[in-house]
Amino acid sequence: CDDCEERYGFEENDTYGCCACCGARLYIDDAITVGDDNEIVCNSCYETQCFVCDNCGEVFFNEEKVYVALSEDDEAWYCKHCHEDYLEAKENY
């Protein structure tokens, strides 16, 4: 049954997987996809280990988080990709 599969299962498939952070078994439809490698995380780990890039809107692990001071009154958290693009655009401006 689904409860036993989630609790005792160990193989990853199209229906079940494991959280990339804590290893908890979870239903894929309830998981959150993170980063370029499309890893999955549970809701609890999403709240503590992830952020949404203020530029592209994608979810990344906190290790990818870069602070950007856009102006005196405006700041943001960018993923490394968006930060690189921001620096390049700023340099070419």
pLDDT at 54 over 80: yes
| 71-83 pLDDT, tens digit each | 888 899 999 999 9
Secondary-structure percent of the chain, ordered helix, strand, coil, rounded to 5: 35, 30, 35
Distance, CA of 23 to CA of 77 (rounded, Å): 27
Give the pLDDT of residue 41: 97
pTM of the model: 0.81
